[in-house]
Structure 1
């Protein structure tokens, strides 16, 4: 029985969703089948060839409106076979090896990039995917080598069955990306340590929605109620995508909005979370009055462990947490914080945060968001610690947008609103507001000195290598 069928509109529960998703990528058309950054520089993201075409994502129309693109179904066994084939054909046998700790040299990375770009040669996979490292765990300022080393678990990678994003063959986590590192380094060099995105309705359309709800509050049949729900999404119209601190046409930006989109879809109940303990916000609903829900991602790290001379850092923690706040809107569509936040809104954020690591295990878009937080943190650590650690080398080509331009992607500008409801629930609640906020400086300033970290455990290789495998630091 519809909520409208037996009670007036004020007792209807509705969530309206604005959503956006990153362009169907094996990370930039599998980074142009590992010829990424154009050849060698600028390029345009989009659907790649070969295996990449087997995976869906979204489309962005000429007006910048994001819409879902259908996924082609594929048997798990077939997907596994194709992923293995992809890795064996495109990656070296050494790169495919799964290891608990791979070390990657930023100085040698830049040297190799300079050589390749000067010769007009494509950038190989091992550089585009930072050696296949899929989680940043250590940063070492190595004065002896005059280098900055990063390290973490690594493995071979191939496009995932869903969405086409490159993921580890065993872990399913997306690897760290050179293009995300470049965005983070360049943003930090320009003083941008506050990065993020948001998807918001316009004040005009929010006011229109308020008026529509007030004018359509009479009890009706289930069929009419369903039409009203659909109409509410149309009334709210396209929502505006805003990205700050990073280029809106970058992979970094698309990953931000993808994670926000996925979170809202889970809250709405239109997609399962993949984690039993994380239910939709609809499932947590309790009867109360009208408001808007706002959930957003914020940093969540344990204090950075460091040695006594502050040259080696260990990074732990889930990287991100979900925060919540109720909002209200006046008749002009202006939003403000409500005096309270209902328990169901808080509970969804708490469950999401508590099980975020598990969500990352099943959702590559959340694991990719973790990587963005880490790339921003790495850039801030370099800014704060490089000189004090005795490192005279500093990034040059990595910061040069002219000599090393980024692959570009269609810019998401608008997202259509959608509506759903839970039968029998009370109160009009519009779940529209969200986003991602990255504050790397605050994270970098929280440190804890420990005697457990020793640089010798990195198993430093010859000075010319970009990456090598080492024993795990435990």
Structure 2
């Protein structure tokens, strides 16, 4: 294609010369002869053996030109009959026009390659507008790389705003990241400015010792037992969404709410006040513009700020739009308040969604890797705990001191964050939420009024005896969210709770191993009560709202990964996922936590049951819960175009509809 453009003038001269020679074959001064060879028009100077230039043309032009074979050589010379000379000139003109029409089209599609020397000179001279306009930027496969060179040079020279504008034109995540790395390096140097493996759950995480004999402990294998008490956090982007049909009378997904999108998007977007903590009937966040805003702030050394970190106050995603060039999130907000360090929606109590949580989940979705955390006792701690258990069993350690002794023996517990870096806000959140849930279960933190902890459940069900020889596993995991979409799978509506506490029981064996999964009504009742009262627990302890927000963006990430188009949507997700590598705070990676031990006594008739629990762990399960089918909702058809009504200012990455 490029050769045709560069030879256009030669082709024109050839055709004109050929036509002149055919019209006046007796012209003595003619230096050109014309040939047709396999559908090619060629010019050949007298005495030359090889054509110099060639242009593809239609063999059907031979007939209008009145050409007839002069001899049968491989390269056949044609001569023109006298009556066709005038028609010949017309055909030459027509071919010439066609050639230049084709040439013009090709010029619009691709230009000649730029001189690299000239490009480098323009960049070194600071003539960035010239460098950006050089034709090389349009060569397929090199455009983004070329713009990345320009943007890096702009940033290094102190033109941060111009560099950010150039980066907005770059789509390839790797090229964007190279500019960002260069720019952030310059900021650090003072340039001028304008995963892991799963835990081994055979190790004990809790010791549960029970007896029905007052103030005594039986030998292992009798009434006195030991059992782990692991619990934890599990995040798997592929397990956060249940693609299912919704009831037709579901008020949370009423037709009126969808139809109202037209009115919400018809607002004068440019005249709105820009307060991300204010309520909104429907707030929209453009992930493409969010990506560009993050990049611009990184390049200039400007902090991301609360509005960006908290995704403009969204506490859930009701609608996900996959447009031709963007991904847009939308949901109503009721205004944002700061509650004990967490931004929360003042009506629902949900914590805001966070951009760093979104980056973590996008990275996990693309890698197909779940993430979470585990807490394990050390081998030395386990050995010491076994010795203490024997002393309690033999009566050497009084019941009243058994909890403290067991906690001291277990010592510190190892913390491992897998599938994600340990020095991030996501990692600290998971460990904090897990540890706090453990304290709630064992009565060391108060539950909301009327909500039972695990020990309360033991009391309520003491008629069935104490939890004898059971290994109780508790962990946070995704609650399947319901999703429906338009017929083209470009608009998605998401509803439902995002997180739940899960549990199972196994029989703890005398040798410290684990038996088959068994049914324990106590743990089932505790888990059910915890989930049933999730909103109350979340309102009392905001850390659970933050954990819930992690699962909500995990669902969004899964939908983007599953239904996003190759290229624009995948590249956009990759660029945002790269933020998972950013470190805005110098956070220590959690390494260890103290064990928690408590002793609980309950009377039943003339018997006292002592339940000693020393807990220290996180359990991680790998459940893929996404179904292959998705419910199509015709009312959503046609709404993909609504989000095109975006603010003109490209730095407005969020806006309100009203």
The DSSP-based 3-state class of the residue aligned with 2:276 is helix
1:340 alignment partner in structure 2: 518
Supply the distance in 2 between the matched residues of 1:200 and 1:361 (Cα, whole angstroms): 30
Q: Deviations over 1:309-330 (max 9, x none)?
A: 1112222222122221224555
CA pair 330-6 structure 1, distance change in 2 beyond 3 A: closer
Aligned counterpart in structure 1 of residue 404 of structure 2, from 206, 221, 230:
230
Say whether residues 1:118 and 2:291 are aligned partners. Answer: no
Supply the distance in 2 between the matched residues of 1:5 and 1:124 (Cα, whole angstroms): 60
Unmatched 5+ stretches in structure 2: 1-209, 234-272, 603-607
Structure having the higher helix fraction is 2
Q: What is the TM-score normalised by the length of structure 2?
A: 0.53
Say whether residues 1:191 and 2:368 are aligned partners. Answer: yes
CA pair 15-336 structure 1, distance change in 2 beyond 3 A: closer
The DSSP-based 3-state class of the residue aligned with 2:489 is coil
Q: 1:294, 1:433 within 8 Å by CA — same for their partners in 2? A: no
Supply the distance in 2 between the matched residues of 1:306 and 1:266 (Cα, whole angstroms): 39
Q: Deviations over 1:149-197 (max 9, x none)?
A: 1122335545423xx23334554432111111122222333332x1212
Supply the distance in 1 between the matched residues of 2:633 and 2:475 (Cα, whole angstroms): 33
Aligned counterpart in structure 2 of residue 419 of structure 1, from 597, 601, 621:
597
149-158 or 398-407, which moves further after superposition? 398-407
Supply the distance in 2 between the matched residues of 1:393 and 1:16 (Cα, whole angstroms): 44
Aligned counterpart in structure 1 of residue 415 of structure 2, from 241, 254, 257:
241
Q: Deviations over 1:68-114 (max 9, x none)?
A: xxxxxxxxxxxxxxxxxxxxxxxx76222112431100001111222
Aligned counterpart in structure 2 of residue 165 of structure 1, from 336, 342, 345:
342
Q: Deviations over 1:333-388 (max 9, x none)?
A: 5x425442321111111111222233333332111111111222222222221117
Q: 2:596, 2:616 within 8 Å by CA — same for their partners in 1? A: no
The DSSP-based 3-state class of the residue aligned with 1:94 is coil
349-358 or 10-19, which moves further after superposition? 10-19
The DSSP-based 3-state class of the residue aligned with 1:257 is helix
Say whether residues 1:273 and 2:450 are aligned partners. Answer: no
Supply the distance in 1 between the matched residues of 2:515 and 2:224 (Cα, whole angstroms): 22
Q: 1:18, 1:239 within 8 Å by CA — same for their partners in 2? A: no
Q: Aligned-pair distance for 1:406?
A: 4.8
Say whether residues 1:8 and 2:216 are aligned partners. Answer: yes
Q: Aligned-pair distance for 1:434?
A: 5.2
CA pair 402-169 structure 1, distance change in 2 beyond 3 A: closer
Say whether residues 1:108 and 2:289 are aligned partners. Answer: yes
Aligned counterpart in structure 1 of residue 500 of structure 2, from 317, 321, 324:
321
1:201 alignment partner in structure 2: 377
The DSSP-based 3-state class of the residue aligned with 2:545 is helix
Q: Aligned-pair distance for 1:303?
A: 3.0
Aligned counterpart in structure 2 of residue 300 of structure 1, from 462, 479, 504:
479
CA pair 137-259 structure 1, distance change in 2 beyond 3 A: farther
Q: Aligned-pair distance for 1:293?
A: 1.8
Q: Deviations over 1:107-153 (max 9, x none)?
A: 0111122222223322233212111111222211012xx11011223
Structure 1 residues 245-394: aligned runs within 5 Å:
245-274=419-448, 276=450, 278-285=451-458, 286=462, 287-288=465-466, 289-328=468-507, 333=512, 335-387=513-565, 391=569, 394=572
Aligned counterpart in structure 2 of residue 175 of structure 1, from 352, 366, 376:
352
Supply the distance in 2 between the matched residues of 1:17 and 1:339 (Cα, whole angstroms): 14
Structure 1 residues 67-106: aligned runs within 5 Å:
94-106=275-287
CA pair 312-437 structure 1, distance change in 2 beyond 3 A: farther
283-292 or 239-248, which moves further after superposition? 283-292
Over alpha carbons, which structure has the higher Rg? 2
Supply the distance in 1 between the matched residues of 2:563 and 2:416 (Cα, whole angstroms): 32
CA pair 435-459 structure 1, distance change in 2 beyond 3 A: farther
Q: Aligned-pair distance for 1:202?
A: 3.6
Q: Deviations over 1:17-63 (max 9, x none)?
A: 88999xxxxxxxxxxxxxxxxxxxxxxxxxxxxxxxxxxxxxxxxxx
Q: 1:268, 1:282 within 8 Å by CA — same for their partners in 2? A: yes
Q: Aligned-pair distance for 1:7?
A: 3.8
Q: 1:236, 1:417 within 8 Å by CA — same for their partners in 2? A: yes
The DSSP-based 3-state class of the residue aligned with 1:199 is strand
The DSSP-based 3-state class of the residue aligned with 2:530 is helix
Of structures 1 and 2, the one scoring higher in RCO (CA 8 A, sep 6+) is 1
Supply the distance in 1 between the matched residues of 2:657 and 2:429 (Cα, whole angstroms): 30
1:88 alignment partner in structure 2: none
Q: 2:277, 2:336 within 8 Å by CA — same for their partners in 1? A: yes
Q: 2:600, 2:612 within 8 Å by CA — same for their partners in 1? A: no
Supply the distance in 2 between the matched residues of 1:396 and 1:326 (Cα, whole angstroms): 39
Unmatched 5+ stretches in structure 1: 22-91
The DSSP-based 3-state class of the residue aligned with 2:351 is coil
Structure 1 residues 451-470: aligned runs within 5 Å:
451-453=634-636, 455=639, 460-462=645-647, 464=650, 465-470=652-657
2:8 alignment partner in structure 1: none
Q: Aligned-pair distance for 1:416?
A: 0.9
Q: 1:304, 1:444 within 8 Å by CA — same for their partners in 2? A: no
The DSSP-based 3-state class of the residue aligned with 1:149 is strand
Aligned counterpart in structure 1 of residue 618 of structure 2, from 424, 435, 443:
435
1:44 alignment partner in structure 2: none
Q: 1:132, 1:154 within 8 Å by CA — same for their partners in 2? A: yes
Supply the distance in 2 between the matched residues of 1:435 and 1:459 (Cα, whole angstroms): 45
Supply the distance in 1 between the matched residues of 2:230 and 2:504 (Cα, whole angstroms): 17
260-269 or 170-179, which moves further after superposition? 170-179
CA pair 332-207 structure 1, distance change in 2 beyond 3 A: farther
1:147 alignment partner in structure 2: 326
